[in-house]
Amino acid sequence: MTHVPSLEGAKVGVVVPAYRVARQIENVIRGIPSWIETIIVVEDKSPDDTAERVEKLADPRVVLIRHTENQGVGGAMRSGFREALKRKLDVIVKMDGDDQMDPVHLAHFVEPLLDGDADVTKGNRYHSPTSLAGMPKVRIIGNAGLTFMVKAASGYWANFDPANGYIAFRRELLERMQIDRLPSRYFFESGLLIELGILRAVVRDVPIDARYGDEHSSLSIPRTLFGFPPRLFAGLVKRIFWRYFVYDFSAVSIFVLLGLPMFLFGAGLGVYLWYDYAAQGVNAPPGMVMFAAMPIILGFQMLLQAVVLDVTGVPRFPVCEPLREAARAEKEARSHSRGAA
């Protein structure tokens, strides 16, 4: 039996980016439980009849948005987020249109947000070996190569499965984000985690099983391992700058300010001395070797300590208030106003 959460008046909606999912979209919408108030389907200029199939279902909860040009999953989610904010949905869940995300887990995604235990919940297919039984090997390899890089860039060292697109958000968090600047296409999930890391939102993993049909995987290992690192490095620099030099100034800030210049100075000096003495055909004096080595050692130690502090500084306190408490307070206020009247 499917678990139904106690919403206490909270409005929950689902955003479904839809591209080339005509065969699966009907099952996706039919599978979404009745306690979900709104289903926003964003048809991303799909060349098949995805939109027509959505319209034929005639589900009163469905809001269909049609793009005039393909914008990728990130562009579709931006449109879906804007519609969800306009409708004042309290919790917004992202579910892909390929029927790989089991709606039976929806309550487990929503409840931590209602209770105020997290700002965002995200699926994790790596919670047990049996959960990976149905996952294609190409995805396991791609995710393994991506995970560490995304952890470093976003600061969510305790979370896994960063490419998982089964995610739920609080409305207040989306209102703080610059939605129009979220990445398009396949970097969307990773770029989203970086933005959440800057806001220090609490992201909680929800164990789910991998579920795949006969669809072809769109994950490219070369694109993941060689295309993502430059963008993730840029995201790391952005997070460090905003988190430790704009919104806060801590020991991490000092270690980075001192350690990075020392490390680069020592490395640059070491390369110069090696080249200079090699051209002369003589060995470098021990004093000169140590003069280059010491900044490298000290700078590396400071940077390593900054990483340790960053790992232990994963956000633990949600930035959003518990929804259920707010709903109860609103109900009490309404009842008091009626009694006074």
Q: Six-digit token pair at 103?
A: 């709606």
User: Is beta strand 62-66 parallel, antiparallel or unpaired with respect to 38-43?
Assistant: parallel
Contact in structure between 112 and 121 (CB atoms under 8 Å):
yes
Rounded Cα distance between 334 and 158, Å, is 41
pLDDT computed for residue 231 by the predictor: 92
User: Is beta strand 120-124 parallel, antiparallel or unpaired with respect to 62-66?
Assistant: unpaired
Check residues 224 and 238 and name the one with the higher pLDDT: 238
pLDDT-derived band at 120, boundaries 50, 70, 90: very high
pLDDT computed for residue 7 by the predictor: 82
Laid out side by side, the sheet with 203-207 consists of 62-66, 38-43, 12-18, 91-94, 167-170, 120-124, 203-207
Helix/strand/coil for 44? coil
Q: Six-digit token pair at 275?
A: 């080249």
Closest to 104 measured CA to CA, from 49, 37, 157, 33? 33
0.75 exceeded by pTM:
yes
pLDDT computed for residue 102 by the predictor: 92
Q: Six-digit token pair at 68?
A: 């005039």
Q: Is the dihedral of CA 317, 319, 324, 328 positive or negative?
A: positive
Whether the predicted pLDDT of 112 surpasses 60: yes
Q: Six-digit token pair at 157?
A: 């060292």
Mean pLDDT in residue range 49-59? 94
Rounded Cα distance between 265 and 294, Å, is 10
Give the tens place of pLDDT for each residue, 288-306: 999 999 999 999 999 999 9
pLDDT computed for residue 185 by the predictor: 80
pLDDT computed for residue 161 by the predictor: 86
pLDDT computed for residue 88 by the predictor: 93
Contact in structure between 112 and 47 (CB atoms under 8 Å):
no
Whether the predicted pLDDT of 218 surpasses 60: no
Helix (H) or strand (E) holding 65: strand 62-66
Give the tens place of pLDDT for each residue, 278-290: 999 888 899 999 9
Q: Which residue has the tokens 């518990």?
A: 322
Rounded Cα distance between 185 and 78, Å, is 11
Whether the predicted pLDDT of 78 surpasses 70: yes
Lowest mean pLDDT among 136-145, 268-277, 287-296, 318-327: 136-145
Check residues 126 and 300 and name the one with the higher pLDDT: 300
Mean pLDDT in residue range 50-77? 94
pLDDT-derived band at 164, boundaries 50, 70, 90: confident
Rounded Cα distance between 25 and 21, Å, is 6
Whether the predicted pLDDT of 328 surpasses 70: no
Rounded Cα distance between 140 and 230, Å, is 21
pLDDT computed for residue 2 by the predictor: 65
Rounded Cα distance between 188 and 72, Å, is 9
Average pLDDT, the chain: 88
pLDDT computed for residue 141 by the predictor: 67
